Structure 1
Amino acid sequence: MSVVSPSLDRKIYVRSVGHVIVYDPRDGKCEKTEIPKEPYSRDVCVVDNVLYIYCIGVGLMWYNSKEKEWRVVNGISTLLWFPNFRLKVALAEYNGNLAVLQQLSLKKSETIVWCVMIALERNGEEITGKVAWFERLLSITDDYKIMHCLARTDS
Structure 2
Amino acid sequence: MCVEREYPAANVFDGRIYVTGGCKESDSSNWMEVYDPETGIWECVLSPEGNSRVHKSAVIDGTIYNMFGNGGLAYKPKEDKWETIGGITYLDLGWPWLSYCVVDNVLYCCCNSDGLKWYDSKRCYWMDLKGLKGLPKFAGYGCVKLADYGGKLAVFWTKYFRASGYKKKRIWCAVIVLERRNNDEEIWGNVEWFDPVLTVPNGFHFVRALAATV
Q: Quickly name the TM-score band, shorter chain normalised.
A: 0.7 to 0.9
1:55-70 residue pairs with structure 2 within 5 A? 55-70=111-126
Asked which structure has the greater RCO (Cα within 8 Å, sep 6+), the reply is 1
* RMSD over aligned Cα atoms: 2.6
CA distance in 2, matches of 1:7, 1:135: 30
Q: 2:173, 2:195 within 8 Å by CA — same for their partners in 1?
A: yes
Divergent runs of 4+, >3 A: 14-17, 19-22, 105-108
CA distance in 1, matches of 2:161, 2:130: 27
Aligned residue in 1 for 2:93: 35
SS at match of 2:167: coil
Counterpart among 141, 166, 174 of residue 116 in structure 1 = 174
CA apart distance, 1:142: 1.6
Unaligned 5+ segments in structure 1 are: none
Aligned residue in 2 for 1:47: 103
Counterpart among 75, 84, 87 of residue 24 in structure 1 = 75
Normalized against structure 1, the TM-score is what?
Answer: 0.82
CA distance in 1, matches of 2:68, 2:154: 22
CA apart distance, 1:82: 2.9
- The question of 1:8 aligning with 2:60 is answered yes
- The 1:20/1:97 distance shift into structure 2, 3 A limit, reads farther
Deviations 1:109-155 (A, max 9, x none): 2211011000000112000001001111111112211110111123x
- The 1:22/1:122 distance shift into structure 2, 3 A limit, reads farther
Amino acid at match of 2:199: S
Aligned residue in 1 for 2:191: 131
Q: 1:61, 1:72 within 8 Å by CA — same for their partners in 2?
A: yes
CA distance in 2, matches of 1:78, 1:8: 29
CA apart distance, 1:24: 2.5
**Identity, % of aligned positions:** 32
Range 71-80 or range 86-95, more displaced? 71-80
CA distance in 2, matches of 1:94, 1:105: 25
Unaligned 5+ segments in structure 2 are: 1-53
Whose radius of gyration is greater, 1 or 2?
Answer: 2
